Every structure is written in C-alpha cells, then in structure tokens.
Amino acid sequence: MKRIARPLRLPRPLRGSVLPQYACRKSTLQHLQESTAPSSSPPEESPSSSPKPSSGHHHRYATRSEVDDEVPELAKQPLHPLSLADLVKHGRPPLSAEALLSSARFTLSLLPIRLAHRIQALRNLPYIVVSNPNIRKIYNNYQHSLSTLLPWQGRTISNLDDEIRFTEVLAELVQTHTDTIPILARGFLECRKYIAPAEVTRFLDEHLRARIGTRLIAEQHIALHFSSTPHFDPAASPTPCPEHPSYIGVIDTALRPASIIDSCGGFVADICELNFGVRPTWEINGEPDTTFAFVPMHLEYIVTELLKNAFRATVENGMSREPIIITIAAGPPDDGRHAPRSGVVNLDVPRAEASRGSLGNLGSDAIAPLDDNAPGVTIRVRDRGGGIREEVLPHIWSYSFTTFNENDDVPGAWNDDGLHAISAASNGSSSIAGLGYGLPLSRAYAEYFGGGIAVQSMYGWGTDVYLRLKGVGKIE
Amino acid sequence: MPRLSLQNATAPTRLRRAGELGTVAPGRFCIRQQARYTHGGHHGGSKWRPMSVLDEWAAKEARPISLRQLMVFGRTLTEARLISSANYVRTELPTRISHRIRDMQQLPYVVVTNPHINEVYDLYYSAFDTFRKVREIKNLQDNEQFCDTIRAMLKAHLPVIPKLAMGILECSEVMGAEELDNFMNTILKARISRRVIAEQHLALTDTFHAPWFSPGAKLSETEFIGEVFLKCIAKEVVERCGEATREIARRAYGPDVPIPEIKIEGHLDASFPYILSHLEYIIGELLRNSVQAGVERHQRLKSEGKNPGAEPKPIEVTICESSQHVIFRISDQGGGVPHEVLPYLWSFSKGPASERLLANLKQVPKLAATMQELQVEDDKDAHGKAHRNPSYANSLASLSSRPPNLRLGMGLPLSRVYAEYWAGSLALHNLEGYGVDAFLQISKLGNKNEQLTTRATMDSV
C-alpha cells in the first residue's frame, strides 16, 4: 500500500476523494449503526492490515491533518490516577455479569484518553524522529488502536455480547503493542543524532510508565473476563491468568517472590551456561516464604533483568563460585498506629530525577525512591561481580546504555532473539545483554506501584541492588 | 591588644565596646540584641555591632585545603613553616567565621533569637572579634600566645553542636525543615573546617616543641602529621570502633544482654590518610546504630516469644578498596528503619520525635570530657602505640561515648557532614523488617579539597 507523504501543517484537512481513516464522532456513530461489528477480525501482527469497516475506507494513512481529529480533545482530559484498588474493585473472579460489564465500562472510560495522551506525546517529538520507520510504526499502532476504541465511545456496554467483542478489541490492542519497546528502542537508537538523550529519556520515562498502566488496565479486564467464563480455560486467555484462587485477574494476591526468583534464576543461569559455559548459583535468605499481592509478570521482568546483570558481572569477574545472595525482607504489617498512608498513589507520574540516588552520584538522597509511606517487600540482590565503574555509574539509568557492544551500530541479527527477551521473559532468548533498557524499565515497573530500585556499587568488590515493592495490601 | 577571656564556657561574656558604637553607615543592616532573648550573664542593654567590619571579612574568600596539603605541609616542619601556618590560620578563621555569622544574620529573626541559636551566634561573634584582632605572628612567642587563644576558642565552642541541634528542633515549627537542614549542614561543615585547620596548627606546634622532634626531620608513615593519621588501616579502625561500641553497649545494657558480633571481610589491607577522629566518629556512629538495633530487636523477639537464637545476628562489615576510594559497607540485621522515621533520617528536624530528642540532648554529658575519661583504661591499639592524646578537648569523643539509649537523632546527619567534608559520601539502604546497609565512601588519595559552601548563596553587601 502506497504511503502518502504527509504535508507538514494544514489549516484544513484535505478531503478530496480520500475518506479519512477516522471520521468525526458523529459519522462514526452512524457507521456503527450501519455495521454489525466494529472490529472482529482476529489479532494480527501488522497494524497496517487493520480490519476495515464496512463503509469502505481503504486509504489507511489519510492526508487529513492530525490537528483536526479527536486526539487533541481527548488528550486535554486528565488521566485518571490509577490505583490498584481500581483494578480489583470489581471483585474476585468469577465475576457476575454485572461486575464484568462494570469492569468493561471502567476500562472503556480510561483507555481512549490514555492512548490519546500517548499519541499527543509522540506528535510532539521532532518530525525527523517520528519519520523514522520504527518510531512511525509505533505511532501508527497507537493511532490504529485508538481508532478501534473510538467507535465504542458514546455507547454503553450493556450486554455480554458487547462485552465479548470489547474484550476482543482489548486483546488486539495488547497484542499489537507487544513489541513496542524493542521497536521504539531501535528507532531511538537510529535517531540518536537528531535528538538529545535527555529528551529521549524524558519521553521514554513518561511513555513506558503510561504503557505499563494502559496494558495493565486492558490485561486486567481480559483476565477477569476469561476467568469468569463458565468453563474457565486458562489456555484460552491471551493474558496469563492461572486458575488459582489467589488471582484477581493479573494480580496474584499471594505471590511468593522466592518462587519467581528461583524460576527466573534458572532461566538466566541457562543463558549463562549457553553463553559462558558457567552456571552461577544463588541463595535466598531473609524471609523466603513472604508473600504479597503483585503482578507476577512485572516481578518476573524485574527479577530477570536484575539477575541477568548480577550473573553476567559475576561470571565476567571470575567469581562464579560465589553465589549471588538474595535477601527477602518483609515490611511489618500496618498496625494502624501511625498516620494513614497516602491513599491513592498516582501511578503514572515518573519520579523526579532528583530523587534518584546511587553511590556514583554520591547521592545524598539514596533512600528517596524507597521512602514510600507503606509496608512492602524489599529484595536485595548482592553480587561479587566487581562493581560498576565510576564513569559508567551515572548512565545506568539511561535508555540504550549497555556495556555490551556499545560501539556497534544498531544491534544486529544476534539480537533479534534478544529483543523478545526484553518483552517477555519466558521467550527463548539466547542473549544475555539487550538494548540497554533493562534497568530503566525495571525501575518503571517497580515504581509503578510505589516502589523503587536503588543500585549501590562497590567498585572492586560487587554491587547491591535494592528492589522495593509496595504491597497491594489486603484485598477484601 | 586586649584579650577576651573565654575560659567560662557556659555563659558568653558580654562586653560593651564603647569605641565601636555610632560608626554605622546609613543603610547598613544592624542587629540589636534584645535583653530578654539572651540568657546567662547579660545585664541589660543592647549590643550594637557595626557591620562594616563584618562586611570586610565576609567579602574575602575562604581558601580551602585538602588532606594532602595538610600532610605535605607538615611533613618537613621548620620554624618558618610553623609561623606560616599560624598566619594562615590567623586569617582563615575570622574569614570563615564571618561567612557563618553573615549566614545566621540572614535567618529569620525568630530563629536567631531562639536562646540556643542566639548563644551560638554570640559565641561566633566573640570568636570573630577575637581572631580578627590578632596581629601578624612573627616568632614562636607570638605563636604560643596565638595557640592559647585557639585552645580557648575550641573549648568555648564545644557545646555548639548540641546547642544548634536543640535550636533546630525548637525552631522546626517556624522554619522549613529543608532550609533548617541546609543551614545546619553549612554551619557544621564550616565548623569542621575551622577546627581542622585550628587543631592541625596546634598539633604541628606540639610536634615542633616535642622533645624528640628536630626541624626538618621526616616523619614515618605510621605517624600523624598533625591531626592527619597517615595510615588509617581500615580494618583496624573498624575493629577498634567496634570494640569500643560493644563495650559501651555492654556497660549500658548489662552483662545478660547479648551484643552482636562485628565481622569484617573484604580488602583487609586497605589504608589511607585521614583525620582519625572524624573517621572514628562516623564508623562509631554507624556501628552504634547497628549494635543498638541488633540488641533491641533480639530482646524484642525474645519477649514476643519468637526464638531469635542465642545471639543477635552479627554485623557484617565489608571493606572495598579501589584506586580512588575506600568503601565501608556495614550490613546489619537489626530490623531496619521504620518507614515513618525514614523521611527524617538525614534531617536535623525530627518531626514527631522532636520532643523526646530535645530532652535527650539536654542530657549530653559535659562536653569537655575527653575520650580517655569515659573509656576503658587500655588505650593502646594492637601495635602498642599510644593512641592520640590531644591536649585540647575533642568534641566528637564525648558524643561518641554517650550511652546507647541516649538517642540524639544527630548521628546520621552529622556523620554525613563529616563524610562529605573531604568529598566522601554516606548512604543508607533500608530493608524494612530485616536490617540496614550503610555505605561510607572515603576518597583515598587525600587530594580532594574540603567541601566548603560557596559564597554564591550569601548576600554580599
């Protein structure tokens, strides 16, 4: 399909014979009344072959000016400060029909605005950056996803059929955006000459955090949906939702970090063995039987990244006989004696740079990211990997910083598997170093629910990483 | 030259300086001392201090030094060098004090009229007046007089730290915590700096007059150059502080209470030049916190019926040496810092705990007492060399030797000021419910300058 070159800024949209991809709301509603299903095709990899509404739009990338669509209006609306309470307020599965519909409506109320904010942010990147094919692909993904949701606005999801179709839309959304991070990473790497690292960091900090939230909202509803169906088949769900009483959607209320550490450790040790011929070991001490409420996927991602770093450093430092010591500390339960903890934590706001601390900055606020006023679980990963060089230390939280092949141009073929390792820890990745997004992304996940990560290096000895996770708390 | 007597350390003397009244230029900012806001020996009337003198000194830049300079300077000590050192101190002290006085003058009125802060203000002003009038030192006799003046000032200023701390706690209602902390950090750093150069000069003078000394003689590595201990062996410092801390704990808690052990691992040979009293203070405070936490947690678990084992878990100290730094990691299993305390950890304002801490501060034992009086007899370290026995009072020593249950809430912020003074750092990581990891980083080469505050934040009239 031929792409039409977009003019820079048009005061009025070019309408001509080309029908716009997403018309104004009124005609969308009209179209909705005409067609039976907004988008019911199975999820596909490429966003360019999106399902076409029956009214015959066929030019996907219309010449209509971007300033004239729904995005600016939606982006003006404030983001709802998401809390974990929001995700579990509809109840424990299996949900009643009413609860499921309520969840669907809640999800619908949040997602278009969130997508619009992202699109707006992308639109504000320099033109040359968004022209990069990789960035462009992500931009189009977002526009496409918004277009699949817009038809649903202005109509209430009031019956289970609608709910099923809506869930399918969500599933497609989740699937479409699975590889956003490696593609964005590649795009920004290619554009590094044209945009300052600080600007990239700012954009990505906000974008990736928002992405965590958006996916969480969508995946939660999908999981609730599937775990509420009469014959619950976990395999049918595109999102992990084991059939287990402790699960509420994607949240496991009885998640045992030690189990996650052991399974991720095995996986990372396998990679080490494959790449280095050595298999580092680890020990878990403290309180290994601690459990708390969290999203297993998130914890798996973080733990895998931290263990990758620890294992690699240990092996490269010739200390593979020394086990990596992982300490699990459970914060004491809230006994109600002290001032009530802050209620709703706004999960979408990235923490200020000033609060980041690590010995490299000789940061006097090293404790700041972990000072959340709530009980939680703290996991310390302690290795003998020789520590982090002082010159490197200020950069560990930057995107696309990796000590692996840093002189290469965009990482080559060997990293195609590596890309997938970033997005899903369970994929069969054979590389241990990726595109350098591991630490900042892990921190985004940790901070999303009010926790944080601090890195403390003793150059010449090893590194301690403190992962603080805020517990969800008691869920009735 | 009239000399102010500063022997009476409890009440600052108030003198009317008739000749200094009425020379204030129009538009200059003056402070009038209200009678009712001062305590101890004041007999009414106000204190009128002309600003022009202070302005002149406050306009000068402080000349920071590094540990290395201290060492190199003292390595080959001659009479000329000693006199030169005396004159450096003679002008540096009033310059640095004047900056702090100016800082204090910028604070809100209600803060500086707090009795404790006001006392410190007066102490500083007296010291400034004294030192600015010292004439150029030309010979050893002049130096002797000068050293007496210094000793008197050091002694008179011993109570400054607890007084400031009390003043800060009392003022936390009227001034923001961050501003108060900035003020406190600045004034403490400056205080360290003045005491360093003053004590260094006194130590050099002592060395010069020592019977075994001959001018130009080279000192061996295991000696002190003035106050700078050339070879602080990290492991030994930790062992010594550890033993001292455990001993104090044993005496305070009684023989039946088990005290956690301190285990040391890592680069055990690491050594570096440093001012020993500073290092001992910091490590002492960190170990004290860990020991206390360990003991109390153990007792608490026992009283709750859970079985915590025969002894509290040991404290693990790891020493790591690289080309530029030496890092001490002190890991304990004392249960960690409760999250409600965390926001106040590094602050001199303590929020809800202020009342209790204020009461404790008032009980700090007389600060003129030296380490020797309060500690166990045997002072000699492992190699049989006598431990430093300063002829002047060491304000840190008595803070270090207070009983463990006398919590002042200052240990961490004050330790950090000391750590950062020579461009090092102190960081803490909390594992709530388990323990704390403290990281002290020291610059090994001694070539970093003192971190004094720049004058950028000051109003230069």
Distance from CA of A329 to the nearest CA of B (A): 5
Closest by CA position to B150, among listed B81, B197, B83, B95: B197
pLDDT of A3-48, one tens digit each?
444 433 333 433 443 333 333 444 443 444 444 444 444 444 444 4
Contacts of A332 in chain B (CB under 8 A): 338, 432-433
3-class secondary structure per residue, B278-310: HHHHHHHHHHHHHHHHHHHHHHHHHHCCCCCCC
Kindly tell me if the per-residue pLDDT of A406 is higher than 90. Answer: no
Kindly list the residues from chain B whose CB atom is less than 8 angstroms away from the CB atom of residue A356: none
Please give, rounded to a whole number of angstroms, the shortest distance from the CA of A441 to a CA of chain B.
21
Q: Minimal CA–CA distance to B283: which of B394, B369, B157, B412?
A: B412
The shortest CB-CB distance from B434 to any of A329, A338, A371 is to A329
Q: Is this complex's ipTM strictly greater than 0.90?
A: no
Q: Backbone dihedral region of B409: left (phi > 0), alpha (psi from -120 to 50 degrees) or beta?
A: left
Show residues of chain A in contact with B441, CB under 8 Å: 359, 362
Task: Judge: B429–A466 Cβ closer than 8 Å, yes or no.
Answer: yes
Q: Which two tokens stand for residue B326?
A: 């030496």
Q: What's at B25, amino acid-wise?
A: A
> Cβ–Cβ of B430/A378 closer than 8 Å?
yes
DSSP conformation letters of B36-103: GG--SS--SS--B--HHHHHHHHTSPP---BHHHHHHHHHS--HHHHHHHHHHHHHHHHHHHHHHHHH
Containing H/E element for A464?
A: strand A462-470
Structural domains present in chain B? 11-219 (1.20.140.20), 227-443 (3.30.565.10)
> Is residue A94 reached through a cis peptide bond, with omega within 30 degrees of 0 on the bond before it?
yes
Q: What local confidence, expressed as pLDDT, does residue B47 receive?
A: 62
Q: Could you tell me the CA-to-CA distances from A37 to A53, A82, A102, A148 in Å, in that order?
A: 8, 30, 21, 11
User: Which ranges constitute the DSSP H helices of A229-362?
Assistant: 257-276, 296-316
- Residue B332 vs residues A467, B44, B49, B264, B439: alpha-carbon distances, Å: 18, 54, 52, 12, 12
A177 residue type, one letter: H
CB atoms A359 and B425 under 8 Å: yes
Chain A's closest residue to B342, CA to CA, is A371
Encoded tokens for A296:
């297993």
Taking CB atoms and an 8 Å cut-off, how many pairs form between chains A and B? 105
Q: What is the DSSP letter of B449?
A: B
* Per-residue b or e along B321-357, where b marks 16 or more CB atoms closer than 10 Å to that residue's CB: bbeebbbbbbbbbbbbbebebbbbbbbbbbeebbeeb
3-state secondary structure A118-181: HHHHHHCCCHHHHHCHHHHHHHHHHHHHHHHHHHHCCCCCCCHHHHHHHHHHHHHHHHHCCCHH
CA dihedral B244, B247, B252, B254 (to 10 degrees): 170
The pLDDT value given to residue A405: 43
Residue length, chain B? 461
Tokens of B231: 């070879």
Q: What is the pLDDT of residues A363-394, one digit of tens each?
A: 222 222 222 344 589 999 999 999 998 888 88
A287: pLDDT strictly greater than 60: yes
Secondary structure letter of residue A229 according to DSSP:
S
pLDDT for residue B114: 92
Q: State whether residue B155 is helix, strand or coil.
A: helix
Inter-chain residue contact A329 with B435, CB threshold 8 Å: yes
Strand-pair category, B315-321 with B325-331: antiparallel
Average of per-residue pLDDT across A52-80: 64
- Chain A interface, Cβ < 8 Å to B: 286-287, 327, 329-332, 338-339, 357, 359, 362-364, 366-367, 370-376, 378, 380, 387, 390, 454, 456, 458-461, 464, 466
The pLDDT, as a whole number, for residue B395 is 62
Task: Give me the amino acid identity at A67.
Answer: V
Backbone angles phi, psi at A192, to 5 degrees: -60, -20
- Tell me what pLDDT residue A70 has: 84
Cβ-nearest to B437 among A373, A387, A464: A464
Supply B222's token pair: 């295991």
Taking contacts as CB-CB distances below 8 angstroms, the residues of chain B near A284 are: none
Token pair listed for B161: 């730290």
Return averaged pLDDT per consecutive 10 residues of chain B, 461 residues in all.
Answer: 40 39 40 39 50 87 81 79 91 92 90 91 92 92 93 86 84 83 87 87 86 70 69 91 92 90 95 88 93 93 86 95 94 92 85 76 50 31 36 58 69 90 92 95 80 44 29
Contact B89, B198 (CB under 8 A): yes
Single out the residue of A427, A476, A468 nearest to residue A451, CA to CA. A468
pLDDT for residue B398: 60
Judged against a pLDDT cut of 80, whether residue A334 lies above it is answered with: no
**Considering only A43-47, A192-196, A199-203, which range has the smallest mean pLDDT?**
A43-47
Contacts B327 to A, Cβ<8 Å: 359, 458-459, 461
Percentage with pLDDT > 90 across chain A: 37
Chain A hits for B419, Cβ within 8 Å:
none
Backbone angles phi, psi at A23, to 5 degrees: -80, 180
Q: Which residues contact B5 (CB under 8 A, 6 or more apart)?
A: B13, B152
What three-state secondary structure class fits B260?
coil
Contact between A20 and A64 (Cβ < 8 Å): yes
Task: Tell whether B327 lies on the interface with A, counting CB pairs under 8 A.
Answer: yes
Do β-strands B435-443 and B425-431 pair in parallel, antiparallel, or remain unpaired?
antiparallel
CA neighbor of A50 nearest in space, from A174, A143, A163:
A143
Give how far B382 is from chain A: nearest CA, Å. 27
CA distance linking residue A430 with residue B338, whole number of Å = 42
What is the pTM (predicted TM-score) of this model? 0.77
pLDDT at A474: 53
pLDDT digits (tens, 9 = 90+) for A297-332: 999 999 999 999 999 999 999 988 999 999 999 988
Report the number of secondary-structure helices (H) and strands (E) in chain A. Answer: 13, 8
Chain B residue closest to A454 (CA)? Answer: B429
Q: Higher confidence at residue B251 or residue A234?
A: B251
**Nearest residue to A462 via CA among A385, A390, A407, A394:** A385
Which chain B residue has its CA at the smallest distance from A360's CA? B425
Of A69, A103, A112, the C-alpha closest to A214 is A112
Cβ of A472: how many Cβ atoms within 10 Å? 24
What's the full length of chain A, in residues?
476
Q: Do B430 and A367 touch (CB under 8 A)?
A: yes
Residues of B in contact with A463 (CB under 8 A): none
Kindly list the residues from chain A whose CB atom is less than 8 angstroms away from the CB atom of residue B342.
367, 370-371
Residue A66 is predicted with a pLDDT of 55
Q: In whole angstroms, give the CA distance from residue B284 to residue B315.
A: 13
Contacts of B266 in chain A (CB under 8 A): 461
How far is it, in rounded angstroms, from Cα B183 to Cα B171?
A: 12
Residue A95 and residue A104 in contact, taking contact as beta carbons nearer than 8 Å? no
* Highest averaged pLDDT of the listed ranges A177-191, A456-470, B184-198, B410-424: A456-470
Does B433 contact A330 at a Cβ distance shorter than 8 Å? yes
Mean pLDDT of A396-424: 48
Say whether A458 and B329 touch across the interface (CB within 8 A): yes
Pick the more confident residue, A433 or A161. A161
**A390: nearest CA in chain B?**
B324
